[in-house]
Chain A
C-alpha cells in the first residue's frame, strides 16, 4: 500500500482498536482472580489476587468432565478430519476418474448447506439410532467436512505431477504415494488445517447443545452454557457475585487453551483463515 511512514495518529488508532479487542478478555480474566464481591462493587479494580472463584467453580461445575469430553471429541473427530479430508482432496486433485466432476460438485454444494437445516432431522436420526447422549452423536456428523476437502484439494493440486509419478515408479502403492510423498509436502497446509479444525471443534456449540443433555457427555461449551443453573442449584440463594465469579473463572479457563495455541501458531492460524476466503 502507500509507503509513507505511519504517523502517531495511525499508531494511536491501532492501539485504541487493539485495546477494544483485548480489554473484554483482560477484564474477564483479571476479574475472575479477585474476590467475587469486588466484581460488583468495584469492577475496575485490579487488587488482591485470589483463586476463590476457581475453587468454588471446580466444586460446583463439572468442568473437568467438560474438558475431558471436548478432548475426546477433538481427538477422534479431529483425527478423522486430518486423515480423510487430505485423502479425498488428493483423489480430487490428482486422479482422473469417471464421475469426478459430478462428485466434486456435490462436495461444493454441501458447502452451501447451512448447519441449521440439518439440526432437527439429525436430532431425530440420533434418537432413532438411540444415539442421543453418546459420543458418536458428537463425533460422526461433520467428521469429514466438505470445506476441508476443498481446501486440501487446492493445496495438493499445487504439487507437481512428476513428484507423484516418481513415487509410483519407486513401487509405492497408491496409498503409499499419498502417505509418503503427498503428506510430507503439504505439511504447512496440514498444520493450518489442524489449527483451524481444533478451533472449530473446541468452540462448537449448536450441535452439542442439541445432541447431548446429560452431564456425562456434555462438552466444555455446553457445560459453560449451563453453568449459572449449576451454581444456583448447588448454592441455594447464591448471589450475583458468586455466580459471576464462577462464570468468569470458567470462561477464563475455557479461553486459555485456544489463546495459547493461537499465539504460538498464529502463522498457521492466519493461513487457515485465509484459505477460507479463497473460495469467495
Chain B
C-alpha cells in the first residue's frame, strides 16, 4: 500500500500540473472579483458621476448646466458652508479631547491586573456602543426636553431653573456632543486598553526599580506607548465627527438657528433641496478637509522614533 501511494503521487502531480497552473492563475482573480464588481458599480461609477456633477447646476431633472468651478466658488464664499464647518469644528473640540482623556482614564482603571469584575465593567462601558444610534438619539430628545425632560426635572429638584438643552444655541452642541461621547467612549476605552496591555509589565517594574514615581511612569511610559492607539482613535473620531449626521438629523434637525447644522447635515440639506451639483461639490470639499485633518492627526501623533 505505501509503495502504491508513493508511486501514484508523482504521476498524479504531473498530470494535474498544467491544469492546476491554469486554475491558480485564474482563481485569485475570481476570488477578488466580487469586491471589484461591487466597487465599480457602486463606488467608481458614482464617484466619477459625482465629480462631473460637481461642475454643473442640476436639480435632478432636465438638462444640467455646466458651471465650471461655480459650485465650489459658491460654497467657499457661502457663509452657511463655513458655518457648518465651524459647527463641526466646535463639536470636534467638545468631543475628541474629552474622549481621549476619559478613554485613557477608563483604560488605566481597567488595565490593573488585580481588578475584579473587569469583564462586567467592560460590558457596561461598551453597551452604549452597541445600541442603535437612532433609538438613543430619540431617548436624548425625551431626556433633554426643556419642559418635561428628566434632566431639567432633576435640576428643579435641587432648586435650579430649566435649561434649554436642545432649544438654546449655547447648549445644543454640548448636548449632542454628550450623546456622541456617551455612545463611543466605551469603544475608546477598549482600544486604549488594548494599547496599554501591549506594554509588558516588566517595563513598569524596571521603571519602579529605577525609582520613577507613578506619575512619572504614566507620562514617560504609558502615554508614549499608547500613542499609536491614540492616533488611531483621533483619526477615526475626526472622520466620524466631520461626517456626523444622524445625531443632529434626529435630535435637533440642525437647529436651533442652525447651531447644530454639522458639515454632514449641511451636505444632506443639498439633497433635500434637490441642489445636487452643489451637494456633490460640497462632498468633495468635505473629503479633502477630512483627508487633510486625518493626515495632520497621524503626523502629530506619530511616535517620535518613527519620524523619518
A and B interact physically: yes
Distance of A21 Cα from B124 Cα, bound (Å): 7
Whether B126 and A244, one on each chain, are in contact in the complex, defined by CB atoms closer than 8 angstroms, is no
> Any chain B CB within 8 A of the CB of A92?
yes
Pick from B28, B121, B245: contact of A100, CB under 8 Å: B28
Whether A124 and B49, one on each chain, are in contact in the complex, defined by CB atoms closer than 8 angstroms, is yes
Residues from chain A with a CB closer than 8 A to the CB of B27 are 91, 95, 174-175
Check A113/B43 contact, CB under 8 A, given A17-B125, A254-B132: yes
Nearest CB in chain A: distance from B141 CB, A: 8
Whether B132 and A224, one on each chain, are in contact in the complex, defined by CB atoms closer than 8 angstroms, is yes
Distance of A17 Cα from B115 Cα, bound (Å): 15
Chain B's closest residue to A225 (CB) is: B134
Identify the stretch in B70-78, B90-98, B163-171, B228-236 within 8 Å (CB) of chain A at 4 or more residues.
B228-236
> Any chain B CB within 8 A of the CB of A48?
no
Whether B49 and A3, one on each chain, are in contact in the complex, defined by CB atoms closer than 8 angstroms, is no
Whether A117 and B130, one on each chain, are in contact in the complex, defined by CB atoms closer than 8 angstroms, is no
Check A88/B194 contact, CB under 8 A, given A25-B127, A247-B138, A250-B135: no
> Any chain B CB within 8 A of the CB of A157?
no
Chain A contacts to B: CB under 8 angstroms: 1-6, 10, 13-14, 17-18, 20-22, 24-25, 27-28, 31, 39-40, 43-44, 80, 84-85, 87-88, 90-92, 95, 97, 100, 103, 106-107, 110, 112-125, 140-144, 146, 149, 168-169, 171, 173-175, 178, 199, 202-203, 205-206, 209-210, 220-221, 224-225, 227-228, 240, 244, 247-248, 250-252, 254-255, 258-259, 261-263, 266, 269-270, 273-274, 276-277, 279-280
> Any chain A CB within 8 A of the CB of B29?
yes
Whether B245 and A248, one on each chain, are in contact in the complex, defined by CB atoms closer than 8 angstroms, is no
Chain B's closest residue to A228 (CB) is: B138
Q: Which of B22-66 contact A (CB under 8 A)?
A: 23-25, 27-29, 31-32, 34-36, 38-39, 41-43, 45-47, 49-50, 53, 60
Distance of A238 Cα from B43 Cα, bound (Å): 44
Q: What's the dominant secondary structure at chain B's contact region?
A: helix
Nearest CB in chain A: distance from B165 CB, A: 14
Pick from B109, B134, B245: contact of A221, CB under 8 Å: B134
Distance of A115 Cα from B268 Cα, bound (Å): 12
Whether A247 and B142, one on each chain, are in contact in the complex, defined by CB atoms closer than 8 angstroms, is yes
18 contacts between A and B (CB under 8 A): A10-B115, A18-B121, A24-B136, A28-B142, A44-B153, A90-B31, A91-B32, A113-B43, A114-B239, A114-B287, A116-B243, A140-B38, A202-B132, A224-B134, A247-B139, A248-B138, A248-B142, A280-B236
Distance of A2 Cα from B120 Cα, bound (Å): 21
Chain B contacts to A: CB under 8 angstroms: 9, 12-13, 16, 20, 23-25, 27-29, 31-32, 34-36, 38-39, 41-43, 45-47, 49-50, 53, 60, 105-106, 108-115, 119-128, 130-136, 138-139, 141-143, 145, 148-150, 153-154, 182, 185-187, 190-191, 194, 196-197, 199, 201, 204, 214, 217, 222, 228-229, 231-233, 235-236, 239, 243, 245-246, 249-250, 264, 267-268, 270-271, 276, 279-280, 283-284, 286-287, 290-291, 294
Beyond the given A84-B34, A120-B53, A144-B35, could you list 4 further A-B residue pairs with CB under 8 A, ordered by the A residue number?
A1-B112, A4-B114, A25-B127, A255-B135
Nearest CB in chain B: distance from A253 CB, A: 9
Residues from chain B with a CB closer than 8 A to the CB of A110 are 39, 43
Check A120/B276 contact, CB under 8 A, given A107-B35, A273-B191, A274-B194: yes
Residues from chain A with a CB closer than 8 A to the CB of B145 are 240
Chain B's closest residue to A149 (CB) is: B35
Distance of A6 Cα from B28 Cα, bound (Å): 52
Residues from chain B with a CB closer than 8 A to the CB of A258 are 130-132
Chain A's closest residue to B137 (CB) is: A225
Whether B42 and A142, one on each chain, are in contact in the complex, defined by CB atoms closer than 8 angstroms, is yes
Whether A280 and B232, one on each chain, are in contact in the complex, defined by CB atoms closer than 8 angstroms, is yes
Residues from chain B with a CB closer than 8 A to the CB of A125 are 42, 45-46, 49
Whether A117 and B34, one on each chain, are in contact in the complex, defined by CB atoms closer than 8 angstroms, is no
Distance of A146 Cα from B46 Cα, bound (Å): 17
Nearest CB in chain A: distance from B122 CB, A: 7
Distance of A169 Cα from B169 Cα, bound (Å): 69
Check A123/B271 contact, CB under 8 A, given A114-B239, A116-B243: yes
Distance of A25 Cα from B41 Cα, bound (Å): 40
Residues from chain B with a CB closer than 8 A to the CB of A168 are 20
Highest count of chain B CB atoms <10 Å: which of A1, A144, A149, A254: A1
Whether B190 and A21, one on each chain, are in contact in the complex, defined by CB atoms closer than 8 angstroms, is no
Residues from chain B with a CB closer than 8 A to the CB of A266 are 119, 122-123, 126
Pick from A17, A118, A171, A250: contact of B47, CB under 8 Å: A118
Check A227/B231 contact, CB under 8 A, given A3-B201, A120-B283: no
Distance of A240 Cα from B187 Cα, bound (Å): 34
